[in-house]
């Protein structure tokens, strides 16, 4: 059943592309219907598979000579991320309701991106996964370059180049692994059991891991993320932060750690206190957490605050992966879901609800607009998204980050201490943005006044309310009852850990 | 105590209902436009009735009852574990009374009333949740939940300097919360448990300290300091009080009623329910500096009140002083004693603390309510020196506010007296020097309150206040139950003490220092 999420999205992309240009309503309606269908399938499949392990959805030989299979598989981790993709895609369509420029093409690219993402999360074959991964990159470029804002060509090109460099690294690693394994099969399961030599794993692991981690926003390869997020149209930044960054993290987990578990073993010597790739990447993750938070604190552009906060929060995912223990990995997967929902909500508020009305994202200008009074819905939605992003208990971020912290403590207490600093700075930058953008009492100075006149901001529309409700309720429900997801994540992580990772 | 955890889900989940009720009320109030006030009043009244049912149905032996237990997030030791003894139940009743008073007092909210009442009710839910939770995660969730509405109530409806006051309040409290969270994270990493009762058991037989030392080294004192810091900010304990006068003065009076009447008790409650049972030996080791700070809070709080010109700031510092007695009565329990006489003193002090929590909540909320009424009549003025002779144009007002003021002063026969008397009765034999210095606080408070009465209510009436309106009948009706309760509890403190005393005995029997 889950395979239909992929087929429906691609079919939808094709139909959208063939629609007449001026049928905006039809294009929107079709996109919404397909996104909702995807979400319904994801939810139904999730509910039906509660407590089940890995399930094969489709298995067909594709290129017999090379052992490539068209193999779709779902385990607890995939199902959670498919669920996230479903939520993010519906919300993204809702927050793109006001797109008037080449509407059908916008949704064609949008649905193609979604289809690629579903495909990555469900692929059980390495080459299939790689193909879906590449498919997801191309529409991203066009979405930003055509429908974007601030420096959109630059942002789009930077994002595409970073992605392709990452893909190239992954591809080299994969080809080498395939050649060495000699099993004439490219399914993940076969490659994982091929017994690659330890030295080989140690060489290939960093290549593949970094290749994927670029897309997950790992410091110092994160610089595409803030510029890309800012340049992208709202729905694209929601998808970028919400699910595309998760593609990277998912690749790190499923391919990097899954295929090369011994790549994380100690080198046998220490260099600057680092004794393994695990130490190296944990350090980079921690720098990302703290650096992303500190930079977010210093931004004057509202959307950049959220862009850098994504770098910081994705650092928790990478840190969780490097703990290599049950609770840390559980936390990493839960954080992928949680950040996907929360970042989507934040970008929606900043990009769609606020920017499309005020036409400025400068915090200094927003300060004089008294948005809490003029756009109370936006203000209170941001309060909810903001406290969720800060990691207040009751929202999904708290449980996820708590589990990562507990896991990293068991791996190395200093990791927890450093990540704790990131959380505290996280409270500060979120609160700063909240106060400045919505709750400031500052009156405009005479020089500012003409620029920021009190023009009509326009009423909040139903797609905005629906989208905020969808994402806000998701983070609250998962925060209050995380077992909905953890009951699926835990067995899948356990199986992954038993498959060779120490 | 942990054997009570299992199989405790008996009957109707009244504590859950009590917690959820204000949230539902808040949601309805938000969308009911001009009926919001009615919805809020009904919700608060229903909460009060439910909390009284909880009080009546408490187990008679002072243990924790009405428990609810469900697994929540097994991997992180998080359970849904609720329960109250007389301490928790008394705080539930107090929260419900103060919320009702606050909503009653908030008749002048014209700007977004729906949102205002919704936030007040959310704050009530935060209070109720934190007074019933027995698992750290659950407790922390509500501890933080109460902070968000309080911030916005100050920020959006406060006085001229509301922005900085709200931010200062938020930053101080969040800093304390982070310290608390880190301490409990360390405890969880060492023990695998977040359950207050289970952790108290571990602490009582000494294994908690061993487990923490085994996992993390000799950090136990630092963990205790982290937890104490979280509560010290909330109560507050000097020198962590500097957010308080600004927040109390800038918040609209109905919100100040909630801050001082109920939220400050979250800190005292946390000390009794969480800090002392789990970190007893570490607190005992720090008892001398803690007692010094408590005495300082009592004396300096009173002294600072004497120096204020703004009535709200007078009562803000006076609240610091009154809660200082609670802190004094709590920290004195950490002094090791033996013998029946000393144990009786401990029991007296703890009974006094719990009674003082309730009485201060009631009296302070009433005083800020009166200030709201003064401001309503004076066009916003509330300086100590702005008035004079008000008892002539407004005799009923002067009489009723006088009762509240004398209750705050601790006049025998009114509710404020008994708690303070029991605290001093308990503290004196255990640490006579603390008691002796703290008496200064009593004297200065008396002087402050008499000065207020003198300057506001007696003397010649200035021209402009000659027509100061007296309380009209609806105000009298609203205030009557509050003043009546002050008189009733002053004359019959056993209405509370008879139920509280078994819990006091039970708490003291389980603490190990």
Q: Give pLDDT, residue A228.
A: 85
For residue B188, give the chain A residue with the closest CA: A406
Interface touch B178/A330, C-beta < 8 Å? no
Provide the H-helix boundaries in B158-275: 162-191, 196-204, 207-216, 220-234, 243-250, 253-258, 264-270
Q: Which residues of chain B are at the A interface, by a Cβ-Cβ cutoff of 8 Å?
A: 72-76, 112, 115, 137, 140-141, 144-145, 148, 152, 155-156, 163, 167, 170, 174, 178, 182, 185, 188-189, 216
| C-alpha to C-alpha distance for B170 and B164, rounded to whole angstroms | 10
Q: Give pLDDT, residue A450.
A: 52
Q: How far is A161 from chain B (nearest CA, A)?
A: 41
The residues, ordered by sequence, that sit 6+ positions from B125 with a Cβ below 8 Å of its Cβ are B19, B20, B21, B22, B23, B26, B142, B145
Please state, as a whole number, how many other Cβ atoms lie within 10 Å of the Cβ of residue A130: 19
| C-alpha to C-alpha distance for B450 and B460, rounded to whole angstroms | 17
- Residue-by-residue DSSP string for B369-429: HHHHHHHHHHTT--BGGG---TTTT-HHHHHHHHHHHHHHHT-TTSHHHHHHHHHHHHHHH
How far is the CA of B360 from the CAs of A48, B292, B419, in angstroms? 55, 22, 9
Q: How far is B167 from chain A (nearest CA, A)?
A: 9
| C-alpha to C-alpha distance for A400 and A486, rounded to whole angstroms | 10
Interface touch A330/B167, C-beta < 8 Å? no
Q: Give pLDDT, residue A249.
A: 93
Q: Give pLDDT, residue A452.
A: 53
Bridge partners of A301, per DSSP, are A362
The residues, ordered by sequence, that sit 6+ positions from B124 with a Cβ below 8 Å of its Cβ are B22, B44, B47, B95, B96, B99
Answer for the pair A439, B155: CB distance below 8 angstroms, yes or no. yes
Burial (CB < 10 A; 0-12, 13-18, 19+), residue B472, is exposed
Q: Hey, of A394, A442, A473, which one would you mutate to test binding to chain B, going by the most B CBs within 10 A of its CB?
A: A394
Q: Give pLDDT, residue A290.
A: 93
Q: Give pLDDT, residue A454.
A: 60
Answer for the pair A91, A238: CB distance below 8 angstroms, yes or no. yes
Which residues constitute the domain of residue A343?
3-498
> Is beta strand B65-73 parallel, antiparallel or unpaired with respect to A274-276?
unpaired
Burial (CB < 10 A; 0-12, 13-18, 19+), residue A191, is buried
Q: Give pLDDT, residue A455.
A: 67
For residue B119, give the chain A residue with the closest CA: A380
Tens of pLDDT along B427-470? 888 888 888 888 888 889 888 988 888 888 887 887 887 777 87
Please state, as a whole number, how many other Cβ atoms lie within 10 Å of the Cβ of residue B286: 17
ipTM beyond cut 0.85: no
Tens of pLDDT along A407-446? 998 888 888 888 888 888 998 899 999 988 888 877 777 6
Of B75, B155, B174, the CB nearest to A403: B75
| Among B253, B222, B488, B182, residue whose Cα is nearest residue B359 | B488
Q: Where is B105: in which H helix or E strand?
A: helix B86-105
Tens of pLDDT along A86-103? 999 999 999 988 888 888
The residues, ordered by sequence, that sit 6+ positions from B380 with a Cβ below 8 Å of its Cβ are none
Answer for the pair B326, B353: CB distance below 8 angstroms, yes or no. yes
Task: Show residues of chain A in contact with B185, CB under 8 Å.
Answer: 402, 405-406, 409, 416
Interface touch B189/A409, C-beta < 8 Å? yes
Q: How far is B361 from chain A (nearest CA, A)?
A: 27
| C-alpha to C-alpha distance for B290 and A264, rounded to whole angstroms | 49
Of A327, A387, A424, the CB nearest to B148: A387
Please state, as a whole number, how many other Cβ atoms lie within 10 Å of the Cβ of residue B4: 16
For residue B76, give the chain A residue with the closest CA: A403
**HSE (side-chain half, CA atoms, 13 Å) at A211:** 23
Q: Where is B137: in which H helix or E strand?
A: helix B136-157
CA dihedral B182, B188, B189, B190 (to 10 degrees): 110
Encode chain A (502 residues) as per-residue pLDDT tens digits: 888 889 889 998 888 888 888 888 888 888 899 999 999 999 998 888 876 778 888 888 888 888 888 888 888 899 999 999 999 999 999 998 888 888 888 899 999 999 999 999 999 888 899 899 888 888 888 888 888 887 888 888 888 888 889 989 988 988 888 888 776 788 888 887 777 888 888 888 999 999 999 988 898 888 888 888 888 888 888 888 888 899 999 999 988 888 888 888 888 788 887 888 888 999 999 999 999 999 999 998 888 999 999 999 999 999 999 998 889 999 999 999 999 999 999 999 998 888 888 888 888 888 888 888 888 889 999 999 999 998 888 899 888 998 999 899 888 888 888 888 888 899 889 999 998 888 887 777 766 655 555 667 788 889 889 999 999 999 999 988 888 888 889 888 888 888 754 4
Residue B379: phi and psi, rounded to 5, are 70, 30
Fill in the DSSP letter of residue A61. E
Residue A375: phi and psi, rounded to 5, are -130, 65
The residues, ordered by sequence, that sit 6+ positions from B365 with a Cβ below 8 Å of its Cβ are B97, B98, B101, B102, B257, B258, B260, B261, B262
Interface touch A410/B170, C-beta < 8 Å? no
Number of domains in chain A: 1
Mean pLDDT, 10 residues at a time, chain B of 513 residues: 46 86 88 84 91 87 82 80 89 93 83 87 93 90 88 84 84 87 86 86 83 80 89 87 85 89 91 89 88 91 88 90 91 83 85 91 91 83 80 83 86 84 87 86 88 84 79 83 89 87 85 74
Annotate B35-66 with three-state secondary structure.
Answer: HHHHHHHHHHHHHHHHHHHHHHCCCCCCCCEE
Of B76, B145, B170, the CB nearest to A406: B76
Interface touch B152/A383, C-beta < 8 Å? yes
Bridge partners of A63, per DSSP, are A68
């Amino acid at each position: 059943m889950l395979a239909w999420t992929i087929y429906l999205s691609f079919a939808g992309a094709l139909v959208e592309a063939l629609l007449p240009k001026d049928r905006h309503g039809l294009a929107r309606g079709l996109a919404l219907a397909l996104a909702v269908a995807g979400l319904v399938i994801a939810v139904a499949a999730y509910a039906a598979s509660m407590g089940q392990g890995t399930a094969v959805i489709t298995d067909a030989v594709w290129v017999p000579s090379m052992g490539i299979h068209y193999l779709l598989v779902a385990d607890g981790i995939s199902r959670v991320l498919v669920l996230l993709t479903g939520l993010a895609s519906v919300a993204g369509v809702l927050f793109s309701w006001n797109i008037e420029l080449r509407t059908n093409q916008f949704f064609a690219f949008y649905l193609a991106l979604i289809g690629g993402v579903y495909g990555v999360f469900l692929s059980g074959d390495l080459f299939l996964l790689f193909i879906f991964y590449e498919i997801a990159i191309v529409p991203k470029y066009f979405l930003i370059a055509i429908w974007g804002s601030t420096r959109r060509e630059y942002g789009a090109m930077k994002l595409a180049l970073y992605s392709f460099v990452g893909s190239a690294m992954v591809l080299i690693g994969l080809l080498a692994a395939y050649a060495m394994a000699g099993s004439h099969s490219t399914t993940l399961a076969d490659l994982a059991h091929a017994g690659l030599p330890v030295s080989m794993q140690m060489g290939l692991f960093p290549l593949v891991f970094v290749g994927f981690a670029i897309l997950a926003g790992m410091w110092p390869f994160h610089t595409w993320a803030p510029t890309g997020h800012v340049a992208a149209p709202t729905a694209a930044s929601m998808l970028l932060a919400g699910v595309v960054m998760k593609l990277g993290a998912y690749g790190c987990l499923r391919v990097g750690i899954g295929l090369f578990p011994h790549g994380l073993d100690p080198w046998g010597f220490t260099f600057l206190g680092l004794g393994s790739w695990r130490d190296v990447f944990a350090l980079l993750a921690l720098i990302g957490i703290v650096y992303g938070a500190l930079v977010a604190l210093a931004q004057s552009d509202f959307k950049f605050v959220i862009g850098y906060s994504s770098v910081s929060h994705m650092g928790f995912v990478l840190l969780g992966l490097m703990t290599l223990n049950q609770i840390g990995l559980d936390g990493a997967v839960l954080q992928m879901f949680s950040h996907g929902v929360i970042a989507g909500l934040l970008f929606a508020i900043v990009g769609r609800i606020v920017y499309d009305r005020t036409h400025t994202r400068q915090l200094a200008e927003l300060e004089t607009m008294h948005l809490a009074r003029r756009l109370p819905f936006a203000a209170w939605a941001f309060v909810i998204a903001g406290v969720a992003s800060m990691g207040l208990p009751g929202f999904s971020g708290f449980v996820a980050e708590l589990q990562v912290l507990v896991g990293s403590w068991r791996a190395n207490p200093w990791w927890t201490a450093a990540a704790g600093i990131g959380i505290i700075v996280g409270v500060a930058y979120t609160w700063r943005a909240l106060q400045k953008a919505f709750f400031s009492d500052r009156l405009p100075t005479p020089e500012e006044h003409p620029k920021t006149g009190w023009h009509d901001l326009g009423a909040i529309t139903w797609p905005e309310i629906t989208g905020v409700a969808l994402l806000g309720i998701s983070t609250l429900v998962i925060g209050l009852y995380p077992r909905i997801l953890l009951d699926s994540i835990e067995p899948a992580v356990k199986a992954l850990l038993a498959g060779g990772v120490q | 105590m942990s054997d009570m955890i299992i199989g405790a889900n008996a009957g109707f989940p009244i504590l859950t209902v009590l917690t959820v009720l204000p949230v539902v009320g808040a949601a309805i109030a938000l969308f009911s436009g001009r009926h919001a006030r009615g919805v809020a009043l009904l919700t608060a009244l229903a909460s009060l009735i439910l909390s009284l049912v909880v009080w009546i149905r408490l187990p008679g032996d002072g243990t924790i009852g009405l428990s609810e237990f469900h697994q929540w997030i097994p991997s992180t030791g998080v359970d849904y574990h609720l329960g109250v003894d007389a301490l928790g139940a008394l705080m539930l009743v107090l929260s419900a009374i103060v919320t009702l008073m606050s909503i009653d007092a908030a008749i002048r909210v014209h700007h977004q009333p729906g949102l205002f009442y919704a936030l007040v009710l959310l704050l009530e839910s935060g209070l109720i949740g934190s007074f019933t939770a027995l698992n750290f995660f659950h407790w922390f969730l509500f501890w933080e939940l109460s902070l968000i509405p309080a911030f916005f109530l100050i920020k959006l409806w406060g006085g001229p300097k509301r922005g900085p006051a709200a931010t200062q309040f938020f930053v101080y409290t969040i800093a304390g919360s982070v310290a608390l969270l880190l301490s409990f994270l360390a405890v969880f990493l060492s023990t695998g448990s977040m359950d207050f009762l289970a952790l108290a058991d571990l602490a009582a037989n000494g294994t908690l300290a061993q487990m923490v030392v085994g996992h993390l080294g000799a950090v136990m004192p630092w963990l205790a300091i982290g937890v104490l810091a979280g509560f010290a900010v909330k109560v507050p304990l000097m020198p962590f009080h500097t957010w308080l006068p600004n927040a109390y003065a800038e918040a609209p009076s109905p919100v100040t009623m909630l801050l001082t009447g109920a939220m400050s008790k979250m800190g005292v409650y946390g000390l009794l329910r969480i800090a002392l049972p789990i970190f007893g030996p570490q607190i005992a080791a720090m008892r001398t500096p803690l007692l010094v700070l408590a005495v300082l809070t009592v004396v300096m709080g009173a002294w600072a009140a004497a120096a204020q010109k703004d009535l709200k700031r007078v009562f803000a510092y006076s609240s610091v002083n009154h809660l200082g007695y609670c802190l004094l009565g709590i920290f004195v329990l950490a002094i090791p004693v033996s013998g029946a006489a000393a144990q009786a003193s401990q029991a007296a002090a703890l009974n006094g603390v719990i009674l003082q929590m309730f009485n201060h909540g009631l009296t302070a909320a009433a005083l800020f309510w009166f200030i709201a009424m003064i401001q309503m009549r004076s066009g916003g003025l509330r300086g100590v020196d702005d008035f004079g002779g008000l008892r002539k144009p407004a005799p009923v007002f002067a009489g009723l506010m006088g009762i509240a003021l004398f209750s705050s002063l601790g006049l025998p026969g009114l509710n404020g007296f008994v708690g303070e008397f029991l605290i001093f009765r308990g503290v004196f034999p255990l640490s006579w020097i603390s008691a002796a210095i703290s008496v200064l606080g009593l004297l200065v408070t008396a002087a402050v309150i008499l000065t207020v009465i003198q300057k506001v209510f007696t003397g010649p009436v200035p021209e402009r206040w000659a027509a100061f309106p007296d309380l009209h009948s609806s105000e009298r009706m609203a205030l009557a139950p509050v003043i009546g309760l002050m008189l009733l509890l002053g004359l019959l403190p056993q209405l509370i003490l008879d139920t509280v005393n078994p819990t006091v005995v039970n708490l003291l029997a389980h603490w190990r220092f």
